[in-house]
């Protein structure tokens, strides 16, 4: 059921508002029609009851011969009148609303001392007197269903199509005679008129349009806030949100701007500390490097210099990783094809091979130096364990995907995510001799995510590792 609901807040609010409004309109219209139906049924039923009571009282005051002449004169549609039918007690009381209401109305007109009974039957009354007598015997019998047989006489088909029912009323006269009335009355006085349905449709469309506009206006700040939160991961110094709109929206925007300012201050303070640490580390390392030049033992001097180079590399790499939280580099258009070609040429100069498949259709707007560092780390990591690397470029309107495949030993499946942790090293594949610090993949993923993308590692079936770098367009 939840899968059928719209995924956006705008869609769900609009659905609930439109559904609730439709339900309310239909219920209101149903109640209105029911009230009008009852009122008109009182009027129609009251008129028929008054006419039947007047005829009964008139018949009660006449002799038999005069009664016969009066019955012949009054036996006209929509009322059929007869004095020849016997009293036929109703087997089961008819408690339908129309029967009960008509019985009450007739009781008021006939008085409490007049025996009578009311029943609704599915049989229609006999054909009206203007139908030729020779043809009366050939008329089909009354049908219990409302099937519209084209062979049915027009008067009978019209009654069925209009929803008319045969109300049979029998009343006893003072001398014991039985007056039988067969009166055609509608089962429902008012149906759902087309005009009412069109009115409801116009109201629903108008209110739904206004509701859609209101919901869109109210939910737009949420979309702006979501976009701002996404952009914040790419550019911490993005423009502040406008603190406008309703009170709740202004409070959310103000809280977001306050959070952004605190993050900026935190990163600025951290960078100042990192700059101080960098200066304090480089100074003693430089002094030690100068002192090693005074050593006369050449092998010992070379070992000291190798240790100092490793210390400087670890310090610089650690500082680069810590600076990854802020991106001071402004975005610019980068020719990715040229960057990959330069990496391929550098690998060839080192005796290694890189095969490039596919091209980027257009320049990528990114932070060029940061993305170069990301790709350099991935290429160095791949070529460190194999002298061959394949890079596949897939460019779509939404994403630019680079897939790097090497022929190395791969990574155990349970450690595919752990290698992204800072300073984590695979003991089975790395040693101190390589100079690795365990930060290359962490820096690469941080840069990818700072651009709104991601970096994923997986082992290849035929051996080696596959790194998938996804960057948004």
**462 within some domain:** yes
- Which residue, of 328, 362, 387, is where some domain finishes? 328
How confident is residue 150, by pLDDT bands cut at 50, 70 and 90?
very low
Are 452 and 429 members of one domain?
yes
pLDDT at residue 321 tops 60 = yes
- Are residue 390 and residue 378 in the same domain, yes or no? yes
Across the chain, what does the average pLDDT equal? Answer: 80
| pLDDT at residue 2, as a whole number | 60
Mean pLDDT, rounded, for 402-407:
93
pLDDT given for residue 322 in this prediction: 63
Tell me which of 294, 328, 362 is where a domain ends: 328
**Domain endpoint, select from 168, 194, 220:** 194
- Mapping DSSP onto H, E and C, the string for the chain reads CHHHCCCCHHHHHHHHHHHHHHHHHHHHHHHHHHHHHHHHHHHHHHHHHHHHHHHHHHHHCCCHHHHHHHHHHHCECCEEEECCCCCCCCCCCCCCHHHHHHHHHHHHHHCCCCCEEEEEECCCCCCCCCCCHHHHCCCCCCCCCCCCCCCCCHHHHHHHHCCEEEEEEEEECCCCCEEEEEEEEECCCCCCCHHHHHHHHHHHHHHHHHHHHHHHHHHHHHHHHHHHHHHHCCCCCCCCCCCCCCHHHHHHHHHHHHHHHHHHHHHHHHHHHHHHHHHHHHHHHHHHHHHHCCCCCHHHHHHHHHHHHHHHHHHHHHHHHHHHHCCCCCCEEECHHHHHHHHHHHHHHCCCEEEEECCCCCCEEECHHHHHHHHHHHHHHHHCCCCEEEEEEEECCCEEEEEEEECCCCCCHHHCCHHHCCCCCCCCCCCHHHCCCCCHHHHHHHHHHHCCCEEEEEECCCCCEEEEEEEEC
Residue 377 located in a structural domain = yes
**Do 300 and 270 reside in the same domain of the chain?**
yes
- Domain for residue 201, yes or no? no
Instruction: Give the pLDDT score at 389.
Output: 92
pLDDT of residue 320: 67
CATH number of domain containing 298: 1.10.287.130
Would residue 203 count as lying in a domain?
no
- Residues 324 and 266 reside in one and the same domain: yes
The boundaries of the domain holding residue 461 are 330-472
CATH code, domain with 336: 3.30.565.10
Q: Residue range 390-402: average pLDDT?
A: 94
Residue 310 domain-assigned? Answer: yes
Q: What is the pLDDT of residues 38-91, one digit of tens each?
A: 777 777 788 889 999 999 999 988 988 899 899 888 887 778 898 988 888 877
pLDDT at residue 336 greater than cutoff 70: yes
Considering the domain architecture, whether residues 264 and 319 belong to the same structural domain is answered as yes
pLDDT at 155 over 60: no
Across residues 430-435, what is the average pLDDT? 47
Domains identified in the chain, total number:
3
Q: Are residues 304 and 369 in the same domain?
A: no
- The answer to whether residue 126 sits within a structural domain is yes
In a domain, 374, yes or no: yes
Does residue 89 or residue 36 have the better pLDDT? Answer: 89
Same domain, 63 and 189: yes
Do 323 and 358 lie in a common domain? Answer: no
Q: What is the per-residue pLDDT across 249-264, written as a single tens digit (0 to 9) for each?
A: 889 999 999 999 998 8
Poorest-pLDDT segment among 251-265, 387-401, 427-441: 427-441
Mean pLDDT on 153-168: 59
Residues 323 and 413 in one domain: no
- Let me know whether 357 and 451 are in one domain: yes
281 & 334 share domain? no
Q: What's the pLDDT tens digit per position in 170-219?
A: 999 988 899 999 887 765 555 566 777 788 788 888 888 888 888 888 88
Residue 268 has pLDDT above 90, yes or no: no
Is residue 15 in a domain?
yes
How much is the average pLDDT of 395-420? 91
pLDDT tens-digit series, residues 344-360: 999 988 888 999 999 99
* Pair (308, 364) in one structural domain: no
For residue 124, the model assigns a pLDDT of: 58
pLDDT of 326 higher than 60: no
pLDDT reading at 273 higher than 50: yes
Confidence of residue 431 (pLDDT cuts 50, 70, 90): very low
């Amino acid at each position: 059921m939840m899968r059928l609901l719209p995924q956006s807040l705008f869609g769900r609010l609009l659905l609930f508002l439109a559904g609730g409004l439709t339900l309310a309109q239909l219920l209101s219209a149903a109640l209105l029609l029911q009230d009008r139906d009852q009122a008109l049924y009182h009027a129609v039923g009251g008129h028929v009851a008054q006419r039947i009571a007047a005829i009964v009282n008139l018949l009660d005051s006449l002799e038999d011969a005069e009664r016969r002449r009066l019955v012949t004169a009054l036996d006209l549609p929509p009322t059929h009148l007869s004095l020849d039918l016997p009293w036929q007690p109703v087997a089961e009381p008819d408690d339908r609303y129309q029967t009960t209401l008509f019985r009450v109305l007739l009781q008021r007109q006939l008085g409490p001392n007049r025996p009578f009974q009311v029943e609704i039957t599915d049989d229609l009354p006999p054909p009206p007197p203007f139908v030729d007598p020779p043809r009366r015997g050939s008329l089909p019998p009354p049908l219990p269903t409302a099937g519209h047989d084209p062979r049915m006489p027009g008067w009978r088909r019209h009654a069925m199509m209009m929803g008319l029912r045969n109300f049979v009323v029998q009343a006893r006269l003072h001398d014991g005679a039985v007056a039988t009335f067969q009166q055609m009355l509608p089962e429902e006085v008012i149906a759902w008129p087309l005009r009412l349905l069109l009115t409801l449709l116009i109201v629903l469309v108008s209110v739904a349009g206004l509701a859609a506009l209101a919901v869109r206006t109210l939910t737009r700040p949420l979309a702006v806030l979501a976009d701002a939160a996404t952009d914040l991961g790419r550019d911490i110094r993005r423009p502040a949100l406008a603190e406008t709109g309703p009170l709740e929206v202004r409070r959310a925007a103000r809280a977001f701007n306050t959070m952004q300012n605190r993050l900026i201050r935190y990163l600025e303070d951290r960078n100042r500390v990192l700059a101080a640490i960098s200066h304090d580390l480089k100074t003693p390392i430089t002094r030690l490097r100068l002192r090693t030049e005074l050593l006369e033992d050449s092998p010992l001097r070379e070992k000291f210099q190798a240790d100092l180079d490793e210390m400087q590399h670890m310090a610089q790499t650690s500082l680069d990783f810590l600076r990854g939280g802020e991106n001071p580099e402004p975005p610019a258009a980068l020719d990715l094809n040229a960057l990959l070609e330069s990496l391929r040429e550098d690998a060839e100069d080192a005796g290694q091979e890189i095969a490039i498949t596919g091209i980027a259709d257009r320049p990528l707007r990114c932070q060029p130096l940061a993305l170069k560092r990301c790709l350099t780390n991935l290429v160095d990591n791949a070529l460190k364990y194999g002298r061959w690397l394949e890079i596949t470029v897939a460019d779509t309107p939404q994403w630019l995907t680079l897939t790097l495949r090497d022929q190395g030993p791969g990574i155990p499946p349970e450690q595919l995510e752990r290698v992204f942790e800072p300073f984590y090293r695979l003991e089975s594949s790395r040693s101190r001799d390589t100079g690795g610090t365990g930060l290359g993949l962490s820096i690469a993923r941080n840069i990818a995510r700072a651009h709104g993308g991601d970096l994923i590692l997986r082992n290849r079936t035929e051996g080696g590792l596959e790194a998938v770098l996804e960057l948004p367009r």
